[in-house]
Structure 1
Amino acid sequence: MRFAAAAEAALACGWRYTVVSGWHPYVQTTLDTLASQRRPMADPLGLQKQVLAQLAQGPRPFGELAQMTTVPVVGRAAILHLLWHRSVGVDLSAPLTDRSVVHRSTPELGRPR
């Protein structure tokens, strides 16, 4: 009854209403991975600029983009940092893997870091 009442209240306000009963199994892992890069990050190697420069030419798979940086292992952390801060984007309706396509964010979504 509570869900039905909430649906009616949302309808009266012109809102959509959906009940989510659970997450896909990969969601928590992806959120933990992205959240690990939420703190300010020093970038003395300029890896974030390298990532953004590569994405200026068009979207790229996560793994390929990391390999294009001068230090690929650290490049992965730079990409995750940019994802958390919405400077770049990725489709999160699927697990985050090396094949996930990373793209530049629109200016109103991204926040420079």
Structure 2
Amino acid sequence: MAKFAAAERAAAAAGWRYVVVTGWCRHVAVGLDTLSARRRPVVDRLGLHGELLELAAERPRRFGDLVEATSLPAVARAHAVHLL
């Protein structure tokens, strides 16, 4: 409790608000679970890995725009989620 109180005072001195978070919102937990489920080896027979990385290196893009710019958007979507 003393550490939380000290952190709150330090934040107030800097003009910040201080909040202690004790759990994840449901949508955050679902998103993390989805990404975690994709952690498995993937064979890239269509060469989408390199294509996605090249497109991402060109400039920042929204996720949907990135996969739509590939030669096979439907397959690239699943591969891009795996890369995340």
TM-score for both structures, normalised by structure 1? 0.55
What is residue 60 of structure 1 aligned with on the other side? 61
User: Any gaps of 5 or more consecutive residues in structure 1?
Assistant: 12-17, 84-113
Secondary structure at the residue paired with 1:60? coil
Secondary structure at the residue paired with 2:24? coil
What is residue 76 of structure 2 aligned with on the other side? 75
Secondary structure at the residue paired with 1:23? coil
CA distance in 1, matches of 2:81, 2:27: 16
What amino acid maps onto 1:43 in structure 2? D
From the CA coordinates, give the structure whose radius of gyration is larger.
Answer: 2
Runs of 4+ in 1 over 3 A off after TM superposition: none
What amino acid maps onto 1:81 in structure 2? H
The structure in which a higher percent of residues are strand is: 1
Superposed CA RMSD: 1.9
What is residue 29 of structure 2 aligned with on the other side? 28
CA distance in 2, matches of 1:77, 1:26: 20
CA distance in 2, matches of 1:76, 1:33: 14
Work out the number of aligned pairs and report it. 71
What amino acid maps onto 1:22 in structure 2? G
User: Any gaps of 5 or more consecutive residues in structure 2?
Assistant: 8-18
